[in-house]
Every structure is written in structure tokens, then in C-alpha cells.
């Protein structure tokens, strides 16, 4: 009998259809059964989670009231205060307690003699409810029975607790706190008690009262807590549209419900209103919970009781859980879920699975036929490609790809053969054009591997030690990966036969040994061949610079090795040239970073400024390059310009090496190398001792002892106050008023007696300044605070930078280098720096320009001094040091100004200030833009491009990252 043969497409279609049927049926059954069980488990989880959420919400409502009641029970208001005046002394405590929780409406104390003291919160618009005048925010109610006529008073207070009204209401005397349930429950109980839920008379809301007996036992402190927020919590716990939840006590009285329309209060008149019971809620499934055996419900926190029941012809899942509220009164959460809604998703999933299975069956046969055709078609194309190669036709008509591995490998082999000669020329051109050494290494390895048909390889470079090699680039599966993290190795330790290839100075091929690829680390993986080609790389003077290792299928023939050797010779020369250039740039970059780090390390007040500003400036420059609209749509930087930007950013504050630390770090007005407030304090001590000596001299001379000592105390008090004022001035925290300056001069005019020569032991420079005035004969009366000649330090003529200076500086230069006069420094109106010291700090930009201008930068870096030296200029020409306008500054200089300001505003590593929040920093910069201090167009780009946010995420703390709407800061004129 002859066997019938069927086309491949028929076999594939039948097999695929059968597989779809089997898998679809299994998925449908598993999905429905498992989904049903998961949803039922979720009902249990929902009941448990809802119970815990309601429990937590009740705890949040009751806990502040309990804690405050305990504290008030310890205070005199509940222990001996027998009059309104004495009880009002605790008003602040009541107000603080009320403000701790919006759910607590009042705190009050009931006394054993029938007295009553209450403090209640009044919401805006509710004044009429309490007969209070407009603006009332708190009502104080007092009932004093005493021994005479009983008095009932209402005091009305505004938000500041000022009394704005008062009323006497004798009708309130009918209220006796001793008859209230909260008083009765708490007077003999230990700790805090809670009443059953009831409807508050004043606002018609359901609440509960917590109460505790006072420390002395003669009074009860209580608080009314609203429970209306519990309904909102229950609404959020609904799992399906038909799910209902209710919170109730052991009397089945509702404390909250998820049906806001139904409410939890019943009764028409005020006297009839009470919390609804489960039966009065009007929901039959929840009403069925009343029939539960509550003894089956475990302790608080136990697994809820779950039952299935049919209510009004609908299958329901009912759950009951006990809550732990920290007191003996029990509370329960009831849950009713329609079963059909709970299992609806499982049924829908089953139906969808059936539909998907049917759809797959309809498409299985055509897809199988198409798949068979797709597999066979590449074989026919490969035959055509092979014929073209045989005719030496290397024009590319597209790579033939196939899902069949053997067919795909055959297509790749043919493609590699065709590309080998063409890629040789491409490699030489690409390597010669690549100027970035770090990109050159993986590019060189990848192109060489592709030319020889290899998909894995390693490029080794010789390190500082000529006898050691390190992996500098790696290729795995045709894709570049980071080189393995390992130390440099000697040739003797090197794998892949590197030592032999270097010794023979030629390319070698040998079988791959076990574990050689894996030894390079997890990124290396396994080589995709069974042999390796090792190629040493020598320079023109036969110096070893590295080696190439490429995977190979089988041992390479001599022709292939010759091709690789020719290709690697050009690679070695390129590596040599690029390595020399890279080493020079690396040295220069290291010097730049060394200088920047030294500046940051010089003072704790600069932090990482010199490291962060270059990164922020780079981000803003990149945003300008990426802009496709707006004023910077045509802005671009090439590689050399980027190098100039980078160097300028790192060097923008190099002049700070000349700024004295004691000026940058000046924390008080009198601080130089140390804080001279100690000298001033000693003079005050001298004056106090002089006053004491005079006092006792007067007593010894017959003056009244008591009067003399009283006068001494007055003098001491005045001196202490004057020194405290001088010390406060020294801190520079507040701006100095004219009255403060006048007082400072009056204090400074007070004299003290100096008996020692103040020129002994003084350095020659200070002595020369002191010699400007003749020495005073001893003993000499000197002012307590003074601006003396030795305080004035002259400025050198070379530091004045007058008009026509070669750098174009136009800063206003103070007459003196430093003025350390005590009155001059203490009289600084704002901050701690004098004009001379502020100039000294700003002078760092002058020194930056001078230092950079003296460096022999190459042509493409000639703009570095201008780029680095302009970040303190303003757009209106009022900046420094050259007072340039916007048009006179390059875009990069204006970018650096924005980067410098934003980093300074947000920096967190400066002890003298906190890092500002993101929104606060942007608001300040927006004002600077409006004042033409920074470039408006660049600031707009800074915002719209998101550079501010990208920088903040890298360098700012989470607490600084507040919400920002850039519409609040962008210039509307910019569109």
C-alpha cells in the first residue's frame, strides 16, 4: 500500500490547530475554577481589610480624645478648680486639645457637686445654632451651683480666644452632668470609657463620648467625638456595586454605613432622633446579620465569620468581624456581597477564553500555511544569493533571514563573505574619523569582529605597566558590553594564548579551552565559537599596545589570519595616536578636577559647587542643542566647543583659591581669623570690675552699703544689657536700624582704663598702622568700641583695576583692602560682611579671568576665559566684573550664570543656609529674570526642557522636591 504524502503546510496547520484546542480548553477550565476560588478568598480578605481600616479610622478618631481627656483629668481644672475663673485658666489646654482633631467637637468636665465646664468648637456659619455672635469660634459653657444661687453662663470667643460676647442662660441649669451616661459610666471605672453611639443634639451627627475620672476622683472629664467620617471609609471598601458595609455596636446601633443617602440616623424630631439599627437600615442582607450567632465571632483581629445566604431570592455572601477599639465596648463590621457580582469576573473570563480559543481555531490553519511558506521562501532566496557570490557580485540586496536556525546561519555566512572586502575599507575610514577614544575602542573591536565573522571578542590594552594587560572593550553575541571588572594581568597569566602570540608577533588560532570566556566575568558569558583568534597589536616602533581576541567557528585558515593581521596593523597605529591624545586630555582634566576639588575643600561653605555647576551647565547646553523650536532651534555645539564648555565650567571659580577662608567663612561681624567679640566681652568685664571696685571703695569711705550695692547692680544690669545688644549686632541676623546704630555709637563711646602699652608684642605691619597716631600716656581711657588706625588696611595700587585695565574690569573698588574697625563692622546694616569683604569675595571672578587669560589655550579653547568669567554678569549691564550686557555675552556664558545661581540656591551642603525648595528657587530666579539679571530665553528653556527637574532628581533632597507648575515661572511673552 502506497503511503500518501501531504504538503508541509498541512502538517503544520493540523498540529497547530490541535495544540490551540488543547491549550484553550485547559486554560478555560483552570481560569474559571481558580478565579472563582481567588475571588471568594478576596471576599474574606476584603472583610478583614475593611475591618482593619474601620478599626484604624475609629482609633484615629478616638485616640486624640482619649489622650487629651487623660491629660485634662490630671490638671487642676478637674482637681479642685471650684470657680469659673480657676477653670478658665485651663482654657488653652482645652483649645489645644480641640485643635488636635477635627472630629472632637467639645471637651467638658462634670463635677461631683453638679457644676459643669465645657469648651466647644464652633464652625463658620454655625454661630446661630449656639446663639453666638458672628465670628465666634469657641463657646465656653459654665454651670456653677455652689452654696448660693446657681449660675449658668456662656462665653463666646473668637479664633484668637478674645471674648466677643457673653450670655446668662438660666434654662441651662436643668442640665445635671451627674445624670448623664458618660458621667455614670466613668465615675467608678478605671481608665477611659466610651458611650454607645448616639445623635448629638447640636449638629444632628452620630457620635460617641469618651470619659475618664479625674486624678482626684471628684470629677469626670469627657469629649464628644463625631463618627461621620466612618461612612466615607466604608464607601471606599466597596468591592462591587451591590456590596454593602455597616459598622455597629453590640446593640446593633449603626456607627457608620456605606450608603450616604440612607444615612445612619432615624427619627423626625430632635427628641426622637437616634442611630439607626441594622433592622432600620432598610437593607435586608445587612439586616440578616442580626440573626448571626455573635458568640461565633472571635476576638478583635480574628478571621471574620463568613456565611452564604439567600436573601430576597439573591445569593449573598455575608461577613461579620469584631473590631478592637481599646475599650470594653464591642464594635462590629458587617459586609454583604452579591455572589453573582463576586463571581462575575470569573464567568466573564471563562466566556472570553472560549471566544479567544474559537478565534484561534479559525486562524490556525491559514497561519500554519503561511508559516510553511515563510520557512521555505528563504531557501529559494539563498540559492540566488549563492549564485551571485559565485559570480563575484557583492551588491547588497538585503540579508535573507529565517526563523529556522540552520537556514539563518547559512544566510549570515553568505552575507559575511560578501561584506568582508567592503568592510575592510569601511573600518579604516571609520577608525580614522573617530576622535573619541572611549568610543573608538568598542567600535574598533565591533567592526573588526564583524569583518571576520566573529560575534564575541575582547580588546586588551597595555596599562601603565608595560608588562600587564587589561580588557578595554568586549563583544558578546555581536553586541558591545562593558569590559569585565578585573585587575590587569601579566602576559603569563593571560588566557587565549596571548603570551605565545606576542612572543611570535603574529596572529594565532587555537581551540578554546574550558572556562576561558567565563574567567572574564558574568558579562562575558560564553564565546559563540569553539576556537579563538589571538592578534597582538604593535606600534610602528614594535611596542606592544594591546591584543585582539576573537571567537571563531573552527580553526582559522592562513588566509583569514592574514586578513586579520593586516586589519589589526592599522588598528594598532590608530590606538597609539588616540592613546597619546587621550592621555594628554586626561591629564588636563585631572588637573581641572584637582583644582575644583581643592576649591570645594578649601571651605565648608562651597561644598560640591565646583562639581555640580559643570553638570548643570552641560544639561542646559544639551537642552539648547536639542531644541527644535524657539530662539535656540539653530544652536549647536561640536566636539571642540563641548570641550571648551566643559573646561570653562570646571574652571569658573578657580579664582577662589585667592580668597581668604576667614572672609568666605565669616560667620559674625567681628570675626577675622577669630571672633573679636571675645575682646569686647573682656572690656565689659573690666568695666564691671571697675564698677565693683568703686562700689566697695565708696562703702569703705562711709557711703551707705545698701545704696552702694543697689547702684552697683544697676550699673551691672546696664552693662549686661549693652553687651547683649553688641553681641546680637555681631550675629548679623537682623538689619540694623538708625536707632540701633545710634545706640551702638553711644555704647562704643563709654570708656575703660588701659594700663598696659598696646604696642608691645605687635607685628610690624600693624605697628606701622598704629604709628599713624601718637601713643596715649598710660593709664589711658579708651572707648569701649572704636575704629582705630590699625584697623584700616590699605589696598595696593596694583589691585585697583582702574579704567583702561587690559581685562576690561569695571567693578567699583573700595578704597581700603580691609576695614576691621569695630564700629564699622558692627554697624554693617545687613549680614556680616563689610563692603571691603564683599568685594574680596566677588574679586574671585577677577582672579579667575586673570588666571585663565594667562594660560596658553589652543585655538579651539580660546573662549574659555570669556565663558568662565561671565557668570556674574547681568543682562542689563550692571553685573561684574566687566558690566557686560546680554549682547556682549556668549550663550554658554549666560547658561553658566543660570547654572551657578540655581546650584547655589538649592545646595544643601553649606552650613550657613538651608537648601531652598524647588519652587522657591525657581521663584527667585523668575524675579531675577524680570530684573534682567539672567537671560529670559535661557531661563524659559531651563524650565520647558525639564532640566531643572532632571538636575533636582540627581542632586537635591526629597524634601526639597515640592510640586512645581512651570506656568507660574515662564515668561508669557516667550509663548
In this prediction, residue 695 has a pLDDT band, given cuts at 50, 70 and 90, of: very high
* Cβ atoms of 24 and 353 closer than 8 Å: yes
Mean pLDDT value of segment 254-270: 61
**pLDDT for 780:** 87
- For residue 109, pLDDT over 90 is answered with yes
Residues near 455 by beta carbon (within 8 Å), at least 6 away in sequence: 449, 475, 476, 477, 478, 528, 529, 551
Q: What is the mean pLDDT of residues 700-715?
A: 89
Q: Please state, in angstroms and rounded to a whole number, the distance separating the CA atoms of residues 573 and 175.
A: 105
In 3D, which of 477, 458, 461 has the Cα closest to residue 469?
461
Residues 90-107: what's their mean pLDDT?
87
pTM of the model: 0.46
Higher pLDDT, 209 or 38: 209
pLDDT at 652 (0 to 100): 72
First-last CA distance in the chain: 85
- Is the pLDDT reported for residue 796 higher than 50? yes
Q: Is the separation of the CB atoms in 186 and 212 below 8 Å?
A: yes
Cell output for 334: 458587617
Dump pLDDT digits (tens) for 562-580.
777 766 666 666 666 666 6
Evaluate if residue 539 carries a pLDDT over 80: no
Q: Which H or E run includes 476?
A: strand 468-476
Bridge partners of 510, per DSSP, are 532
| pLDDT at 246 > cutoff 80 | no
pLDDT band at 835 (very low <50, low <70, confident <90, very high): confident
Tens digit of each residue's pLDDT (9 = 90 or more) over 391-442: 556 566 666 666 667 666 666 666 655 665 556 556 666 665 555 666 667 7
Measured CA to CA, the distance from residue 941 to residue 939 in angstroms comes to 5
pLDDT at 84 over 70: yes
Chain segment 804-818, per-residue pLDDT in tens:
777 777 777 787 777
CA-CA-CA-CA torsion sign (406, 412, 415, 417)? negative
> Distance from CA of residue 426 to its chain's centroid?
48
The DSSP-derived string for 703-724 is --HHHHHHHHHHHHHHHHHHHH
Question: Hunting for cell 575682646 — which residue is that?
Answer: 679
DSSP character string of 589-652: HHHHHHHHHHHHHH-TTTTTHHHHHHHHHHHHHHHHHH--SSTTTT----HHHHHHHHHHHHTT
Torsion of CA 230, 233, 235, 239, to 10 degrees: -140
Mean pLDDT, residues 285-290: 72
Question: Average pLDDT over the chain, rounded to whole?
Answer: 76
The pLDDT score that the predictor gives to residue 30 is 62
Longest dimension (CA), the chain: 152
Banded model confidence at residue 975, pLDDT cuts 50, 70, 90: very low
pLDDT of 170: 82
Q: Is the pLDDT of residue 12 over 60?
A: no
Residue 451, pLDDT above cutoff 60: yes
Is pLDDT of 132 > 80?
yes
User: 26: pLDDT confidence band, cut at 50, 70 and 90?
Assistant: low
What number is the average pLDDT over the span 743-764?
86
Kindly report, residue by residue over 193-202, the tens digit of the pLDDT: 888 787 776 6
pLDDT given at position 8: 46
Q: How confident is the model at residue 550 (pLDDT cuts 50, 70, 90)?
A: confident
Whole-angstrom distance, CA of residue 186 vs CA of residue 208:
14
Residue 714: how many other CB atoms lie within 10 Å: 11
Dihedral angle computed from the Cα positions of residues 419, 422, 424 and 426, in that order, rounded to the nearest 10 degrees: -110
**530-539, 610-619, 655-664, 692-701: the lowest-pLDDT one:** 655-664
Please report the pLDDT score of residue 515 as a whole number: 67
The DSSP output letter for 869 is T
> How confident is the model over 217-234, as pLDDT tens digits?
789 999 988 777 666 667
Q: Which residues pair with 782 in a beta bridge?
A: 752
User: Residue 357 pLDDT > 70, yes or no?
Assistant: no
pLDDT at 428 (0 to 100): 61
For the residues 827-836, what does the mean pLDDT come to? Answer: 81
Amino acid at each position: 500500500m502506497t503511503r500518501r504524502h501531504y504538503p508541509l503546510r498541512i502538517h503544520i496547520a493540523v498540529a497547530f490547530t490541535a495544540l490551540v484546542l488543547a491549550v484553550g480548553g485547559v486554560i478555560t477550565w483552570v481560569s474559571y475554577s481558580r478565579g472563582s476560588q481567588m475571588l471568594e478568598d478576596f471576599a474574606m480578605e476584603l472583610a478583614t481589610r475593611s475591618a482593619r481600616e474601620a478599626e484604624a479610622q475609629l482609633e484615629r478618631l478616638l485616640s486624640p480624645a482619649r489622650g487629651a481627656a487623660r491629660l485634662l483629668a490630671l490638671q487642676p481644672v478637674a482637681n479642685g478648680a471650684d470657680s469659673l475663673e480657676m477653670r478658665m485658666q485651663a482654657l488653652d489646654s482645652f483649645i489645644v486639645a480641640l485643635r488636635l482633631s477635627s472630629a472632637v467637637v467639645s471637651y467638658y468636665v462634670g463635677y461631683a457637686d453638679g457644676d459643669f465646664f465645657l469648651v466647644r468648637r464652633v464652625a463658620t456659619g454655625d454661630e446661630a445654632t449656639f446663639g453666638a455672635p458672628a465670628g465666634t469660634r469657641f463657646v465656653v459653657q459654665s454651670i456653677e451651683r455652689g452654696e448660693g444661687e446657681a449660675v449658668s453662663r456662656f462665653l463666646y470667643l473668637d479664633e484668637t480666644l478674645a471674648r466677643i460676647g457673653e450670655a446668662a442662660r438660666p434654662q441651662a441649669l436643668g442640665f445635671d452632668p451627674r445624670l448623664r451616661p458618660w458621667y455614670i459610666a466613668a465615675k467608678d471605672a478605671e481608665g477611659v470609657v466610651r458611650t454607645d453611639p448616639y445623635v448629638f443634639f447640636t449638629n444632628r451627627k452620630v457620635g460617641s463620648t469618651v470619659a475618664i475620672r479625674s486624678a482626684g476622683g471628684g470629677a469626670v472629664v469627657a469629649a464628644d467625638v463625631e463618627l461621620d467620617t466612618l461612612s466615607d471609609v466604608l464607601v471606599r471598601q466597596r468591592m462591587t456595586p451591590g456590596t454593602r458595609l455597616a459598622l455597629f455596636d453590640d446593640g446593633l446601633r449603626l456607627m457608620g454605613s456605606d450608603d450616604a443617602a440612607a444615612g445612619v440616623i432615624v427619627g423626625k424630631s430632635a427628641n426622637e432622633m437616634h442611630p439607626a439599627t441594622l433592622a432600620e437600615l432598610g437593607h435586608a442582607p445587612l439586616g440578616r446579620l442580626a440573626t448571626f450567632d455573635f458568640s461565633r465571632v472571635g476576638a478583635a483581629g480574628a478571621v471574620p465569620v463568613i456565611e452564604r445566604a439567600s436573601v430576597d431570592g439573591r445569593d449573598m455572601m455575608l461577613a461579620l468581624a469584631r473590631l478592637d477599639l481599646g475599650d470594653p465596648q464591642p464594635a462590629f463590621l458587617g459586609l454583604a456581597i452579591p455572589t453573582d457580582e463576586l463571581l462575575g469576573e470569573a464567568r466573564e473570563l471563562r466566556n472570553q477564553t472560549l471566544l479567544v480559543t474559537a478565534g484561534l481555531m479559525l486562524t490556525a490553519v491559514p497561519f500554519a500555511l503561511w508559516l510553511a511558506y515563510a520557512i521555505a521562501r528563504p531557501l529559494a532566496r539563498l540559492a540566488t544569493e549563492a549564485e551571485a557570490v559565485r559570480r563575484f557580485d557583492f551588491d547588497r540586496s538585503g540579508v535573507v533571514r529565517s526563523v529556522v536556525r540552520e537556514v539563518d546561519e547559512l544566510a549570515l555566512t553568505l552575507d559575511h563573505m560578501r561584506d568582508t572586502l567592503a568592510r575592510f575599507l569601511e573600518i579604516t575610514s571609520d577608525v580614522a574619523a573617530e576622535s573619541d577614544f572611549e568610543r573608538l575602542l568598542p567600535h574598533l573591536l565591533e567592526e573588526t569582529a564583524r569583518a571576520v565573522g566573529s560575534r564575541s571578542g575582547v580588546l586588551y590594552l597595555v596599562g601603565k605597566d608595560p608588562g600587564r594587560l587589561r580588557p578595554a572593550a568586549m563583544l558578546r553575541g555581536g553586541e558591545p558590553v562593558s569590559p569585565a571588572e578585573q585587575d590587569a594581568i601579566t602576559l603569563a597569566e593571560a588566557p587565549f594564548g596571548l603570551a605565545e602570540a606576542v612572543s611570535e608577533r603574529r596572529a594565532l588560532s587555537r581551540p578554546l579551552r574550558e572556562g576561558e570566556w567565563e574567567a572574564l566575568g558574568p558579562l562575558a558569558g560564553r564565546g559563540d565559537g569553539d576556537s579563538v583568534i589571538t592578534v597582538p597589536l604593535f606600534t610602528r616602533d614594535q611596542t606592544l599596545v594591546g591584543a585582539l581576541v576573537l571567537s571563531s567557528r573552527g580553526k582559522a585558515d592562513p588566509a583569514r589570519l592574514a586578513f586579520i593581521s593586516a586589519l589589526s596593523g592599522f588598528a594598532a597605529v590608530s590606538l597609539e595616536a588616540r592613546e597619546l591624545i587621550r592621555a594628554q586630555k586626561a591629564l588636563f582634566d585631572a588637573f581641572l578636577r584637582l583644582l575644583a576639588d581643592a576649591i570645594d575643600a578649601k571651605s565648608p561653605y562651597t561644598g560640591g559647587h565646583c562639581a555640580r555647576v559643570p553638570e548643570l551647565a552641560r544639561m542646559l547646553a544639551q537642552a539648547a542643542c536639542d531644541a527644535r523650536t524657539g530662539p535656540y532651534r539653530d544652536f549647536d555645539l561640536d566636539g571642540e566647543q563641548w570641550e571648551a564648555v566643559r573646561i570653562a565650567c570646571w574652571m569658573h571659580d578657580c579664582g577662589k583659591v585667592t580668597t581668604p577662608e576667614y572672609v568666605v567663612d565669616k560667620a559674625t561681624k567681628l570675626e577675622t581669623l577669630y571672633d573679636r567679640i571675645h575682646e569686647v566681652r573682656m572690656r565689659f568685664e573690666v568695666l564691671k570690675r571697675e564698677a565693683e571696685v568703686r562700689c566697695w571703695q565708696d562703702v569703705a569711705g562711709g557711703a551707705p552699703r545698701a545704696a552702694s550695692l543697689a547702684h552697683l547692680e544697676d550699673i551691672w544690669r546696664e552693662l549686661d544689657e549693652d553687651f547683649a545688644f553688641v553681641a546680637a549686632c555681631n550675629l548679623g541676623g537682623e538689619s540694623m536700624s538708625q536707632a540701633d546704630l545710634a545706640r551702638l555709637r553711644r555704647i562704643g563711646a563709654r570708656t575703660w582704663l588701659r594700663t598696659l602699652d598696646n604696642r608691645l608684642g605687635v607685628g610690624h605691619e600693624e605697628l606701622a598702622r598704629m604709628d599713624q597716631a601718637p601713643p596715649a600716656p598710660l593709664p589711658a581711657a579708651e572707648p569701649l568700641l572704636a575704629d582705630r588706625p590699625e584697623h584700616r588696611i590699605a589696598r595696593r595700587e596694583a589691585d585697583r583695576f582702574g579704567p583702561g585695565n587690559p581685562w576690561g574690569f569695571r567693578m567699583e573698588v573700595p578704597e581700603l583692602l580691609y576695614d576691621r574697625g569695630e564700629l564699622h563692622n558692627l554697624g554693617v546694616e545687613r549680614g556680616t560682611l563689610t563692603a571691603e569683604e564683599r568685594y574680596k569675595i566677588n574679586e574671585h571672578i577677577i582672579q579667575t579671568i586673570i588666571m585663565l587669560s594667562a594660560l596658553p589655550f589652543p585655538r579651539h579653547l580660546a573662549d574659555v576665559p570669556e565663558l568662565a568669567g561671565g557668570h556674574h554678569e547681568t543682562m542689563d549691564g550692571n553685573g561684574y566684573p566687566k558690566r557686560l550686557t546680554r549682547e556682549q555675552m556668549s550663550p554658554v556664558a549666560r547658561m553658566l550664570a543660570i547654572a551657578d545661581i540655581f546650584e547655589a540656591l538649592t545646595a544643601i551642603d553649606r552650613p550657613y543656609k538651608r537648601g531652598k525648595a524647588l519652587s522657591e528657587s525657581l521663584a527667585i530666579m523668575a524675579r531675577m529674570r524680570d530684573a534682567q539679571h539672567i537671560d529670559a530665553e535661557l531661563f524659559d528653556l531651563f524650565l520647558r526642557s525639564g532640566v531643572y527637574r532632571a538636575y533636582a532628581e540627581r542632586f537635591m533632597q526629597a524634601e526639597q522636591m515640592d510640586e512645581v507648575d512651570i506656568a507660574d515661572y515662564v515668561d508669557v511673552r516667550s509663548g
